[in-house]
Amino acid sequence: MAVDLSITHLILEASLVVQLVMLILLLGSISSWAIIIRKYRHLKQAEAGVEAFEDSFWSGGNLNEIYSRSEQPDLESGGMERIFRAGFREFNRMRQQRAQPDATMESAQRSMRVALNREMDQLEQYVPYLATVGSTSPYIGLFGTVWGIMNSFLALGAMQQATLATVAPGIAEALIATALGLFAAIPAVIGYNRFSHHAERITNRYEMFMEEFTSILQRHLQGRGLSTSGPIEQ
């Protein structure tokens, strides 16, 4: 008698435990792909925001004008722009209070650091989940495989006359769990490595901008003019 070894039949005829394993792996794979697509778009937008703001900022001009443009509600701001606004807003507030230069710079740097940490959280959001899926899916699939093969051999022991056809379906359904584990893990690991590197690269650009912007503010406190290129007054 022919044995139906189609994937759909094997999944439907699998034991409850193996079916639960397959369901967990399928949900992990779907959620991973959703995060991969979302993070790809998010990091692309973040990088485009960095490029756009750096072009605007380093083209020269008065910082007050740049700050005013960045606060326009019809413009979508990027992470670097939000860091700039946080630091410049606090810098102006401390100047109006006639605080000491060291206190002014420390307060502005602290505001930028808080904004940077907030942007880093956004860049790294959901990325650890990809690492979790990538590291656990093979083991979950292996558990389903071991469980399926164990049931096959238990059923084999209860038979008086065993053939390959009697154990093939159980072994095949068990191996499907392993395949699903790898199918869920491989894209998640690739996505985690890629997005971690991408987020780190963007974060480094944020930190470099903070250092350069801090130098500009320090020069202003020394009376060299509040501009990004040349002594352009407020």
DSSP structure string for 56-81: HHTT--BHHHHHHHHT-TTS---HHH
What is the average per-residue pLDDT within 199-203? 95
User: Which of 116-120, 131-135, 217-221 has the weakest average pLDDT?
Assistant: 217-221
**Do 48 and 77 meet the contact criterion of CB atoms below 8 Å apart?**
no
- Which residue has better confidence, 223 or 198? 198
**Do 94 and 108 meet the contact criterion of CB atoms below 8 Å apart?**
yes
Q: What is the pLDDT of residue 231?
A: 37
Q: 31 to each of 36, 89, 187, 206, how far by Cα in Å? A: 9, 39, 11, 29
Q: How far apart are CA 169 and CA 177, in angstroms?
A: 13
CB neighbourhood size of 201 (10 A):
13
DSSP structure string for 108-153: HHHHHHHHHHHHHHHHHTTHHHHHHHHHHHHHHHHHHHHHHHHHHH
Q: What is the pLDDT of residue 72?
A: 73
Q: Is the dihedral of CA 94, 99, 105, 111 positive or negative?
A: negative
Q: Is the pLDDT of residue 1 over 80?
A: no
- Which residue has better confidence, 199 or 98? 199
Residue 230: band (very low, low, confident or very high) from pLDDT cuts 50, 70, 90: very low
Q: Is the pLDDT of residue 15 over 90?
A: no
Q: How far apart are CA 5 and CA 10, in angstroms?
A: 6
Q: Is the pLDDT of residue 203 over 60?
A: yes
What is the residue extent of each domain of the chain?
7-57+76-221
Would you say the pTM of this structure is higher than 0.85? no
What is the average per-residue pLDDT within 110-136? 95
Q: How far apart are CA 201 and CA 94, in angstroms?
A: 32
Most confident of 15-29, 55-69, 178-192: 178-192
Q: Is the pLDDT of residue 2 over 60?
A: no
- Which residue has better confidence, 87 or 9? 87
Q: What is the pLDDT of residue 76?
A: 66
pLDDT tens per residue across span 21-40: 889 999 999 999 999 999 99
Residue 7: band (very low, low, confident or very high) from pLDDT cuts 50, 70, 90: low
Q: Is the pLDDT of residue 5 over 70?
A: no
Residue 74: band (very low, low, confident or very high) from pLDDT cuts 50, 70, 90: low
Q: What is the pLDDT of residue 47?
A: 93
Q: Is the pLDDT of residue 90 over 80?
A: yes
